Each structure stands twice: as structure tokens, then as C-alpha cells.
Amino acid sequence: MDKLKKDNTEERILDAAKSVFIRKGMDGARMQEIADEAGINKALLHYYFRTKQKLFETIFKQAFGQIFPDIKTLIHSELPIEKKLGIFIEKYISLLQQNPFLPSFILKEISRDPEFLASVIKKQGVNIRELFQMLETEIKAGKIRKMDARDLIINILGLSIFPFAAGPLMIIMFFEKDQKAYKNFLIRRKETVKEFILNSILIKYNIDI
């Protein structure tokens, strides 16, 4: 099979799978429906991806593969904590902007099978203990206030994900159905979340972020 044609078919399958997974969730999605959406037959779909889980893993890895390697690099870098967190927040929100299907999709999968979702994340090489240890070191050094590291991580994720996951409601409630105003709001979220988090944790917040 010609490589260009092969790559194009894979891309069509992945785009179709994203669309179906968002509408139906993992359990509700059917391989036949994904094949129909991609404009191919089911046998060809199975040639590329034997199961729905393999298809999901590929989609998830493609999206989060953009950011997970950076997390490992940041954890072990010599950058000050405010720079590490600032870079992570910016990259994470950029990822959500580029893949707006992710928040609702992930929330559905958390309810469906959190063990599977956790295993996919761990396969990307993210070591949560290393992240906790980094934050505990900063606390002991007196650079950030004493806190449960889990609170900080959950605060960052919540502040970043919610405006995307709740987008349809927010557009109606807060933006009078103005899509452009909502998109501009999301663009500003990088600085808003970064400033909010750093103001809340740094012992002395007098560093230009």
C-alpha cells in the first residue's frame, strides 16, 4: 500500500473515531459507525486498528504525546518552580485549544473506565511520584507555601479543563452566545490561570512570569 495513501487513510480513521467517540463515548461507539464516518469498509478499519481500545490509545497518545515528554523534562530541569508551572500551564491550555474534543471525551472515559485511562497516561512515562517530590522539595526550600501537592495539581487541571468542558453552557450563560468572545476568553486563560496559581502558592511573588 502506498505510504501517502496509508497515512491519509489513518488520518481519516482517527478523525472519524474522534467524532464518533465524542458523540457516543467509548462504550456506545461501534467500529462499523467509525468505518462509515471515515468512508471505508469495516475490514479496512480492522486492518489499521484491531479494536476500539487500540484506536482510542492512538488518539490519546497523539494528543497528550505533545505534552507528556515536556512534563518529564520540566520536572528534572533547573528552572525555578514559577517557570516550570508557567510553562506547563501554557502548554496544557494550548493542547486543549488545539484539541477541543479532549475535555468532554476524557470526562466520559473517566466515568466509563478510569483504570484504563490511567494506564494509558502511565504508558506515556508520567511518574506522579516524581511530580509530588518536586513540589515537596520546593515546599521544604521555602519557595512555595505548605500544601498538599495533589491540591495544586487538581487546581491547575480544573482551572484549565473546565472552561473547555463546559463550553456550550458558558457560551450561553456568560457570553450571550458570542462564539468570538468565548474564544478570546480562552486565549486569555493561559495568563489568567498562570497568575492565579502562582499568586496562590509562591511565598514571595515578585518575579515577572
Q: What is the pLDDT of residue 69?
A: 61
Q: What is the pLDDT of residue 59?
A: 80
CA nearest neighbour of 81 among 199, 208, 198? 198
Q: What is the pLDDT of residue 205?
A: 46
Residue 2 identity: D
Domains of the chain: 3-58 (1.10.10.60), 65-201 (1.10.357.10)
Q: What is the pLDDT of residue 14?
A: 92
Would you say 46 and 20 are in contact if contact means Cβ atoms under 8 Å apart? no
Burial class from Cβ neighbours inside 10 Å (0-12, 13-18, 19+) for residue 134 reads middle
pTM score, whole prediction: 0.75
Per-residue pLDDT of the chain (209 residues; tens, 9 = 90+): 555 455 689 999 999 988 888 777 777 889 999 999 999 999 999 999 999 888 887 887 777 666 666 777 888 889 999 999 999 899 889 888 887 777 877 777 788 788 877 887 777 777 888 889 999 999 999 999 999 999 999 999 999 999 988 888 999 999 999 999 999 999 999 999 999 999 999 986 444 55
**What secondary structure does DSSP assign to the chain, as a single string?**
--HHHHHHHHHHHHHHHHHHHHHHHHHH--HHHHHHHHTS-HHHHHHH-SSHHHHHHHHHHHHHTTTHHHHHHHHHS-S-HHHHHHHHHHHHHHHHHH-TTHHHHHHHHHHH-HHHHHHHHHHTT--HHHHHHHHHHHHHTTSB----HHHHHHHHHHHHHHHHHTHHHHHHHHHTT-HHHHHHHHHHHHHHHHHHHHHHHBSS--S--
